[in-house]
Structure 1
Amino acid sequence: MAKTYLSYNNIHSNLGFNSETVVENISKGLSGLDRYEDASLLPGPFCASLISSEKIEDEFNKIGDASKFTKLEQMMILSLKKVVDPSNIPLNEKVGLIISTTKGNIDVLEKESEFPKNRAYLSELGKIIQNFFGFKNESIVLSNACVSGVMAISVAKRFISEGKYDNVFIASGDLVTKFILSGFNSFQALSAEPCKPYDKYRVGINLGEVSASVLVTSSKEGLPAEAVEILGDASRNDANHISGPSRTGEGLFRSVKAALNEANITSAEIDYISAHGTATPFNDEMEAIAFSRLGMELVPLNSLKGFFGHTLGASGLLETIVGMHSMEKNILFSSKGFTELGVSKHINIIKGNTPKMLKVFLKTASGFGGCNTAVIFKKTTTNQP
């Protein structure tokens, strides 16, 4: 099987419009979360990570007419352009495009929107991004709840391994909208204060908006310093409940186990876990149980939700990119908001930025409908110390 690598990458968030700036701000402990009181979005106060529409438009007008594109389209195009351009890869028939999102342009269904309602179709989002860049192949839209971003990496790897593509670009994004906020509020899961994943005193979930992009490639030539090899991946569905995860962590346990088997390594060889960590009691407890069952109680683990909130279908790709840079810098970033363990099983939460020689890391994600995805990454020989 051909080796596959994560190469050029970009994060577009309110912590910065490129991966390097975002990672630098994370290393400084800066969070993009803020408290909002906006009755047009939600009757009560909420805490979220939002990107200024004006800043997005100003940036987009440098490359196109912002008035013709929705906020999400602008964000995703801006992010993807910062991956496509430095790659210098001709967009021929051997290049694929995957769009990962949970709700896409859901905000165009609101009566205030100036865009036609058909823009809410995920296929339209895919076509718009495909046509902007001139991809020869039709975009593949992947929408599988909150595992979408990391699952896109698995799908890209498979396309390359079977020879359909040599290179696959992934663009991922989601917005904080009235629809999204009202949905999570109906679960009584939203917090008006910054979230605290795995913490005894957690108060609920925060939402965030971001766009993130990456190149998945079969070529080892010209990889950036933070590039990683994809060792193994797996997805499993526990089919427990439309919104509640398996109480035993069965789906997550099986997905990590299968990824380890494909990577041909043991759990003891994982140096770091970039976990899902939404700061909800059911999710945090399920993950703790799964990692305990896997014998990973001592593996350093963090959730990045305290920096970005939950960015839905973009979260897995966003957090993978941060993990790539963490590996390259040999630094474990803190799990912001954590002070005291609030789950029944011991897990090794990273309390502060910690230097550590890193070679292999595990990224996991779990989402509504019982979906669970795990991907294992390894430093390439080009960035070994």
Structure 2
Amino acid sequence: MSGTYLLNDAIISPLGFGTGANLQAIRNSESALKFHNNSRFFKEGYYAGLIEEDLIDSGFQRLGDAFLYTKLEKMIILAVDRVIKGSDAFDPQTTGLVISTTKGNIDLLARNKFTPDRLYLWKMAQVIADFFNLEKRPVVVSNACISGALAIRTASYLIAAGRYKNVIVAAGDLASEFVLSGFNSFQAISDEPCRPFSKDRKGVSLGEAAAAVFLDSENIGEGGDKIQYLDAVTANDANHISGPSRTGEGLFQSISRLMKANNVEAGNMDFLSAHGTATNYNDEMEAIAFNRGGLSQVPVNSFKGYYGHTLGSSALIETILTKHSLLDNELFASHNFTESGVSRDLNIIRSHTRKELNMALKTASGFGGCNLAMLLKKERRS
């Protein structure tokens, strides 16, 4: 088992700047999904969770010149800055940076006011690392929508190998026209706010956000409970470039291998944070995989009804929220859920609930058949 701890974190989203603001919005059952006009792709508009760049610039002005950075870079920098300011262990000479994104600065296509190399993921990561004067070269993780969680596993490996003393894992993606047109070509975007696992779901809603978390091998900081990252396992179902396995094989393999490797059983799980995109195939696949893994009675939610699908940042944001669920013994409702629309029983969380929590399972799936399952555990401190 890993000895890596999830310490300071930050979420920058339409629900607020900072994890605390985001948690309070979720407790108030608020959603970032709002109606937006876009006649180019959607004749009658669409729903998404978008952040006005003016709002980002307002928050960024205390840090530097907003005109020198792209919208996404500013979002990620805002998240990383909050994490650094809350950590005494940060050292630009020994702290690493792992960035998760699927498309990076893809919004710059055809209207790039920056140098052409700014479109490259490595360049975006280096710009962010340079902003904080980090001496070590940043690492980019880009593996579809498991990227945010995979970045945590990558960071844990790098710490264990002695490459870094500690690591900041950051993530971000935009709901750009490139992304919107891509999902629209699949006819996968709902004309209403998404409703994961619901019978009346119509598809995915997209969102944009950034997040960051500080990982360290030592349980440092003030007293109180801490959340330990135990392990994560990935598996690829090799089914289709965009469609998941109908039997949930890849996700089931991730879950079953993870539990076996860490000597835990389904009954040890207090909470399950699902991928839950509200598409017909994804939700059904997850329900089958959870059922095969003996998890049908574990309380489960999807956070997509609050944020939409934020691509490379989704699994990191949801891991941060899962961390705080464990710390606060708080289960959050699966927003917009109506009645079950999958063929296997699931214990969908319908209302915010207080419950003693010790261990959680976070799952994610993505295009190309990638799947990931991650274990988080509460470590109590007196």
Tell me which interval the TM-score lies in, with the shorter structure as reference length.
Answer: over 0.9
Using a 3 Å threshold, how does the CA distance of structure 1 residues 129 and 225 change in structure 2: closer, same or farther?
farther
**Which residue in 1 is equivalent to 2:207?**
208
Task: Give yes or no for contact 2:251–2:289 (8 Å, CA) kept in 1.
Answer: yes
Q: Determine whether 1:141 maps to 2:140.
A: yes
Task: Give yes or no for contact 2:274–2:301 (8 Å, CA) kept in 1.
Answer: yes
Deviation at 1:38, TM superposition (A): 2.7
Q: What per-residue deviation string (whole Å, max 9, x for no partner) do you get for residues 268-306 of structure 1?
A: 100000000000000000000000000111000000000
Deviation at 1:372, TM superposition (A): 0.5
Q: Which amino acid aligns with 2:338?
A: T
**Which residue in 1 is equivalent to 2:302?**
303
State the alpha-carbon separation in 2 of the partners of residues 369 and 42 from structure 1: 26
In structure 1, the gaps of 5 or more residues are none
Using a 3 Å threshold, how does the CA distance of structure 1 residues 225 and 110 change in structure 2: closer, same or farther?
farther
**Which residue in 1 is equivalent to 2:293?**
294
State the alpha-carbon separation in 2 of the partners of residues 99 and 259 from structure 1: 24
Task: Give yes or no for contact 2:194–2:203 (8 Å, CA) kept in 1.
Answer: yes
State the alpha-carbon separation in 1 of the partners of residues 33 and 145 from structure 2: 19
Task: Give yes or no for contact 1:172–1:211 (8 Å, CA) kept in 2.
Answer: yes
Q: Determine whether 1:258 maps to 2:220.
A: no
1:25-174 matches, cutoff 5 A: 25-39=25-39, 42-111=42-111, 113-174=112-173
State the alpha-carbon separation in 2 of the partners of residues 108 and 44 from structure 1: 26
State the alpha-carbon separation in 1 of the partners of residues 337 and 4 from structure 2: 34
Task: Give yes or no for contact 2:2–2:230 (8 Å, CA) kept in 1.
Answer: no
State the alpha-carbon separation in 2 of the partners of residues 322 and 298 from structure 1: 21
1:257-276 matches, cutoff 5 A: 257-276=256-275
**Which residue in 2 is equivalent to 1:20?**
20
Using a 3 Å threshold, how does the CA distance of structure 1 residues 2 and 275 change in structure 2: closer, same or farther?
closer
Using a 3 Å threshold, how does the CA distance of structure 1 residues 26 and 370 change in structure 2: closer, same or farther?
same
**Which residue in 1 is equivalent to 2:6?**
6
TM-score where L is the length of structure 1:
0.96
Using a 3 Å threshold, how does the CA distance of structure 1 residues 233 and 41 change in structure 2: closer, same or farther?
same
Deviation at 1:226, TM superposition (A): 6.6
Task: Give yes or no for contact 2:194–2:204 (8 Å, CA) kept in 1.
Answer: yes
Task: Give yes or no for contact 1:11–1:212 (8 Å, CA) kept in 2.
Answer: yes
Task: Give yes or no for contact 1:91–1:136 (8 Å, CA) kept in 2.
Answer: no
State the alpha-carbon separation in 2 of the partners of residues 73 and 82 from structure 1: 14
Secondary structure of the 1:56 match is helix
State the alpha-carbon separation in 1 of the partners of residues 147 and 225 from structure 2: 22
Q: Which amino acid aligns with 2:283?
A: D
1:311-326 matches, cutoff 5 A: 311-326=310-325
Task: Give yes or no for contact 1:146–1:367 (8 Å, CA) kept in 2.
Answer: yes
Task: Give yes or no for contact 2:219–2:226 (8 Å, CA) kept in 1.
Answer: no
Secondary structure of the 1:366 match is strand
**Which residue in 2 is equivalent to 1:346?**
345
State the alpha-carbon separation in 1 of the partners of residues 151 and 90 from structure 2: 21
CA-based RMSD of the aligned residues comes to: 1.5
State the alpha-carbon separation in 2 of the partners of residues 335 and 226 from structure 1: 25
Deviation at 1:119, TM superposition (A): 1.1
State the alpha-carbon separation in 1 of the partners of residues 287 and 222 from structure 2: 35
Task: Give yes or no for contact 2:41–2:184 (8 Å, CA) kept in 1.
Answer: no
Deviation at 1:110, TM superposition (A): 3.2
Q: What per-residue deviation string (whole Å, max 9, x for no partner) do you get for residues 222-254 of structure 1?
A: 068573101221011111110000111111001
Secondary structure of the 1:382 match is coil
State the alpha-carbon separation in 2 of the partners of residues 131 and 340 from structure 1: 48
Q: Which amino acid aligns with 2:65?
A: D
In structure 2, the gaps of 5 or more residues are none
State the alpha-carbon separation in 2 of the partners of residues 341 and 241 from structure 1: 26
Using a 3 Å threshold, how does the CA distance of structure 1 residues 60 and 224 change in structure 2: closer, same or farther?
farther
Task: Give yes or no for contact 2:273–2:301 (8 Å, CA) kept in 1.
Answer: yes
Secondary structure of the 1:369 match is helix
State the alpha-carbon separation in 2 of the partners of residues 110 and 214 from structure 1: 33
Deviation at 1:53, TM superposition (A): 0.6
**Which residue in 2 is equivalent to 1:372?**
371
**Which residue in 2 is equivalent to 1:227?**
226
State the alpha-carbon separation in 1 of the partners of residues 115 and 243 from structure 2: 34
Q: Determine whether 1:196 maps to 2:179.
A: no
State the alpha-carbon separation in 2 of the partners of residues 63 and 214 from structure 1: 19
